[in-house]
Amino acid sequence: MEPNTELPSRDDALALLHEYTEKAGLLQHALAVEAAMRAHARRLGADEHAFGLAGLLHDFDYERYPSLDDHPFRGAEILEARGWPAWFRKAILSHAPHTGVPRETDLEKCLFATDELCGFLVACAYVRPDRAIGSVKASSVRKKMKSKAFARSVNREDIVEGAAGIGMDLGDHVTFVVGALAGVADDLGLAGVQGEPT
């Protein structure tokens, strides 16, 4: 499928991301959600460019505007000022439940479904001896979701609701997204450290 001509290039989106975001963890999260979104676009036969850019930019304003009063509203305003289309800005707004913006399109539903899950999967990879995202198993993820102390900032209800919203079993969705992140493991710094002391 041809990239959506309404949208800027990935290089332009990356430049915008880096303009507002410096923290390595947030940049890693953006790349993770981008990979998961691109995988969902391929699954659905949808616009991979549009899905990918939504993943890349959904939190681009968060480092500068982290409060619920500001994020992602400031981001949507910045995107509007720079000529990004209204449907894309709506998708960015819809990923955060506190905005009250409904998730209606496949893009919006997939963005919500992947956001918190990607954060949780990265946390799961970090505590593995091999630090490899590709080694993370759905059964282990489900177990860790029951531990309130583990990755406590990640909203478990959003992960469950997100999978249901796209009509996927939670375990299947975990496995699907792990596969997507494994494809960019080097970019995420989660390709593994086999053979090194743990």
Q: What is the domain-level CATH number for residue 87?
A: 1.10.3210
Domain-located, residue 2: no
The model's pLDDT over 4-20, given as tens digits with 9 standing for 90+, comes to 668 999 999 999 999 99
Tens digits of residue pLDDT in 63-89? 999 999 999 999 999 999 999 999 999
Q: Is the peptide bond before 72 cis (omega within 30 degrees of 0)?
A: yes
**Domain span at 15:** 10-186
Q: pLDDT-derived band of residue 48, with 50, 70 and 90 as boundaries?
A: very high
Evaluate whether residue 4 is within a structural domain: no
In a domain, 5, yes or no: no
Chain centre to alpha carbon of residue 58: 8
CA distance 47 to 187: 22
Give this prediction's pTM. Answer: 0.94
